[in-house]
Structure 1
Amino acid sequence: MNRIITLLTLGASSLALASAASAQSAVQQTADSYYVAGQAQLAEKIASQPNVARAKNVVLFVVDGLSVPTITASRIHEGQLRGVDGESNVLSFERLLPYTALSKTYTHDSQVADSAPTATALVSGVKSVNGTIGVTQDIKLNDCASQKGAEVTTLFELAEQAGLATGVVSTARITHATPAATYAKVAGRDWENDANLPEEAVAGGCKDIAAQLVDWPAGDGFEVIFGGGRGNFLTVDQPDPEDEGRTGSRKDGRDLVGEWTARHNDGVYVWNKEGFDAIDPANVNRAFGLFNRSHMQYEADRAKDAGGEPSLAEMAVKAIDLLDKNEEGYVLMVEGGRVDHAHHAGNAARALTDTIAVAEAVEAVFEKIDPAETLVILTADHSHVFSIAGYPTRGNPILGIAGKADDGKPYTTLGYQNGPGAKLDEPRADLTDVDTTDVDFLQQALIPLGESETHAGDDVVIFAQGPWAHLFHGVVEQNLVYHVMEHATGLATRAALARQAAAQ
């Protein structure tokens, strides 16, 4: 019987190949380069097989504000910077993370999300309220009392409970919305240090985000913390090591860097590139790096930093070198946090450059991991009102001019619906003699909106590879990301078993 089935299968395969060959002979454009490339991509898709093994490791890339137009423009820009065809170029995460889905980013109370509840959705599996972190829909914005009972358990807390290593890397402040969602529970995302806490929160016993990081009770704490936000961990009496004349922001007298160092005698604290480079994973078990008082530099400006800053790729690789020492595995978040900030500023050049830096980080991470046992996901928390428009010719600089409008003035390919690129009661500027490819150029906008462009409500992309990555397809709710990560790792069950074993 098995022989008959084998012969039938071989016969069917031969018939399919013969049919395919016959079909190809009826097509005239088979020698066309696009046709050949399409056939190669089809073969690659057919050969792809889902991986249903348990994921030992998880790397979650969150690119703050990575809209679909941002991906397209960055892809073209990266290719043009290398002197190749930008339109057919492929960013590393598009190539290395083959499974994709569209993610619906609305929150419990808003059509257009901010980074706080969307990050909570990604790491905790629930949709929540704009402006809040690490809590359910039962929260009330900026109401300390409503936090009790609304706290969520994150994938990172499950990982620590199950004995895995954990890390968080960001180019933003490590207390900012996205990285904070891995550990903090607050009714107000701006409660980054005690000086930001309202009187009601202080009276109610609510902790600021920086304090929650250092006091985090999950397992033995993060093995890796790399990012910005140094000011939130130092007191107003402590001078900043990099910014002359500046101090920390804390008014409660807590030197959180000193507390972390005292608590972890197996770890090192660093604040500049020299200290970062000196971290030897062979001799260090955990690392705490705060490379700026506030956010880290944009990639375009990183070389100008006084103390020097590691790149996102360097931080991600160092993090994996440290985390991979744990035989149980690890969970790591890597945030490209400043794509969002550049968009808010109406500055497309820096947004694209920081996106390219993320692509470089993904490439570097893949050189360190075993893709068969590591679930890698890259997604965004929300979109931006950023667009690619006009009819520019193939190969036209993506930061360049697309054509002339009815007012006779040139307009750029890239633009924003609102933001600082539009001035109240001023006509649209004439860009005839303006270098729109300059890194400091602000793209024009339709609606004047002070100093900050807004988020958008359109869907964003999820890219994935590794165990159970094939579950990402179609249009999904954003909080599905957590559920796939938990399913792939089994961390909820593993954490529960660890607690039971500890109680015996």
Structure 2
Amino acid sequence: MSFITLILFLAFAQTWASSMHPRLPLTAKHSPNPNERTSSFWIQNAQKTVSEKIKRELNQNVAKNVILFLGDGMSIPTVSAARVYQSGEETELAFDKFPYTGLAKTYAVDRQVADSANTATAYLTGIKANYGTIGVGPEVNRSDCQGMTDETNHALSIAYYSQLKNKRTGLVTTARVTHASPAGVYAHTSDRNWESDTDVINDGQNPQICSDIATQLLFSETGKKLNVVMGGGRKKLLPKEMTDEEGHKGERSDGANLIQKWQEQRINVKYAWNRSQLIDSDVTFDNVLGLFAHDHISYNLERDNISDPSLAEMTAAAIKTLNRGSEGYFLFVEGARIDMAHHETASRIALDETIEFSKAIQVAVDLTDESDTLIVVTSDHAHTMSYSGYAERGHDILEFGGDGSDGKVYTTLNYANGPGYKKPNSDGSRHDIAGDNYGDKHYAFPAVAPLYAETHGGDDVAVFARGPWAHLFSGVLEQNVIPHLMAYASCVGEGLTACDQIN
């Protein structure tokens, strides 16, 4: 074989291999600032930060408005990897610019590693609870129907206490509005899975006793006063005999159309089920119910940009609607699908959802005033994704981090467990991931132990804060301290508040 023939053969082989095993397109190929190669760059950069920090005055105003952003499953490695995915290692997400940060411990009363239900109870009501329970104290075990009906066991959210001060309240999520995290705003249940009466029945319980979460959205003390509810999950609010606007059947067994009832409870109300209806509603109506999917809202990478609103668009509409009051507001915003992508070990989607979450936070920053609006960003729990290897700067975060001692590559992002587990070859050697199809956005990144769904992680999560009394959100905190600090800053609740100090 001649030299030219050999070169042509190798070129063909490389092209054939790429077509058989396509890689994901580069997501963060980035050339660092050439000035980074000088020591003076880093000295000047650090001194600028020092100057900014020593000049910052403490904001001890009363927070008229409070917005809590919850990145479900947004672990610290997720935040770091999302920066690279966005545009490079040195880039900043919207909440990276917040002046104060801390850590929150996320364990449940009965578990080392938490779920989204007991954590919602912690960061919204101020009480740590048992795994799988929402809006009830640790006296109630999971699926304890009688325990959840005892009002002395109810844990009341900061939304409830904000309503007592005549503040407007709302929630936005990319999950079902009856899912674990948003349910923490208004519900009291011993089982996070009891989203509809049919769910309760299927679990062998009586929905007349164990009120389902969707019913509580309409009739609980907090739920019935919410001014804004946006997310997915129409099926939990509609009867089995009825189809929604997109032809999907409801799930309820009681025949109740809770979407209609929600509208009947309020005046000057708008129901929106698509993007155009939402955009038209944010400056006209006092109350908005937006249900944009039968189930969870689609991942951003699969979203119909014409008919389905983004998290940022929902956040903007919610803030504008809640601003139609003089006493201020409390708003809960959840980027729910970061977590769901991690459960699939679909890192590409998880990072993209984190970027969408950051965009929503930037919208809130642009629409509010730091002098009177406290914005807190945190997560409910971590995940098992690690960020490792020795890839060069600007390398695609979704590519390989290096070569193992067996001569085969490993990815920069890996999981401790989950569906990305790759069985060893028949000779016991490690699966060669270099041949995998990285063109699939649902590609399951490698995991050490096989599981149908990857688990949460037990590590601490970050807390970022901006606005009145944001400096209190620093150090290592128990997660349940977060709503107590928000209540202090906004002068709501039964504990010590900034207004007590002023008076």
Task: Give the TM-score band, short-chain normalised.
Answer: 0.7 to 0.9
1:236 maps to 2:240: yes
1:354 maps to 2:353: yes
Equivalent residue in structure 1 for 2:220, among 216, 219, 232: 216
Matches within 5 A, 1:288-307: 288-303=289-304
Alignment match, 2:52? 44
Alignment match, 1:499? none
| Aligned partner of residue 367 in structure 1, secondary structure | helix
Alignment match, 2:31? none
- Structure-2 separation of matches of 1:310 and 1:46: 40
CA 1:323–1:417: 2 relative to 1, 3 Å: same
Instruction: Please list every run of 5 or more consecutive structure 2 residues that lacks an aligned counterpart in the other structure.
Output: 1-36, 498-503
- Structure-1 separation of matches of 2:369 and 2:47: 28
- Structure-1 separation of matches of 2:435 and 2:137: 52
Alignment match, 2:89? 87
- Structure 2 contact 108–129 (Cα < 8 Å) conserved: yes
Equivalent residue in structure 2 for 1:257, among 256, 259, 277: 259
- Structure-1 separation of matches of 2:227 and 2:333: 14
Alignment match, 1:475? 476
Number of corresponding residues: 455
Alignment match, 2:458? 457
1:408 positional shift:
2.3
- Structure 1 contact 161–218 (Cα < 8 Å) conserved: no
- Structure-2 separation of matches of 1:142 and 1:267: 35
1:440 positional shift:
2.5
Alignment match, 2:315? 316
Matches within 5 A, 1:39-438: 39-79=47-87, 86-95=88-97, 97-147=98-148, 148=150, 149-198=152-201, 201-202=205-206, 205-218=209-222, 221-242=225-246, 244=247, 246-281=248-283, 283-303=284-304, 308-423=307-422, 428-434=430-436, 436=438, 438=440
1:405 positional shift:
1.4
- Structure 1 contact 235–248 (Cα < 8 Å) conserved: yes
| Aligned partner of residue 432 in structure 1, secondary structure | helix
- Structure-2 separation of matches of 1:437 and 1:474: 41
Alignment match, 1:15? none
For residues 245-265 of structure 1, the C-alpha deviation after alignment (integer angstroms, 9 at most, x for no partner) is x30000111110111122223
1:217 positional shift:
2.5
- Structure-1 separation of matches of 2:193 and 2:235: 14
For residues 263-315 of structure 1, the C-alpha deviation after alignment (integer angstroms, 9 at most, x for no partner) is 2231011111122122142x2111001111110011111127xx821111111
Instruction: Please list every run of 5 or more consecutive structure 1 residues that lacks an aligned counterpart in the other structure.
Output: 1-28, 80-85, 497-504
- Structure-1 separation of matches of 2:353 and 2:207: 40
* Overall identity of the aligned pairs, in %: 40
CA 1:404–1:493: 2 relative to 1, 3 Å: closer
1:110 positional shift:
0.7
- Structure-1 separation of matches of 2:344 and 2:140: 30
Alignment match, 2:26? none
Amino acid in the other structure paired with 1:217: E
- Structure 2 contact 170–322 (Cα < 8 Å) conserved: yes
- Structure 1 contact 159–491 (Cα < 8 Å) conserved: yes
For residues 41-73 of structure 1, the C-alpha deviation after alignment (integer angstroms, 9 at most, x for no partner) is 111111122111111000000000010000000
The 10-residue stretch of structure 1 (146-155 or 334-343) with the greater mean CA deviation from structure 2: 146-155
- Structure 1 contact 145–204 (Cα < 8 Å) conserved: no
| Aligned partner of residue 185 in structure 2, secondary structure | coil
The 10-residue stretch of structure 1 (263-272 or 30-39) with the greater mean CA deviation from structure 2: 30-39
CA 1:204–1:425: 2 relative to 1, 3 Å: farther
1:173 positional shift:
0.6
CA 1:407–1:368: 2 relative to 1, 3 Å: same
Alignment match, 2:33? none
Amino acid in the other structure paired with 2:421: A
1:455 positional shift:
0.1
The 10-residue stretch of structure 1 (133-142 or 258-267) with the greater mean CA deviation from structure 2: 258-267
- Structure-2 separation of matches of 1:447 and 1:32: 46
1:204 positional shift:
6.3
- Structure-2 separation of matches of 1:249 and 1:49: 53
TM-score, normalised by the number of residues in structure 2: 0.87
| Aligned partner of residue 462 in structure 1, secondary structure | strand
| Aligned partner of residue 398 in structure 1, secondary structure | coil
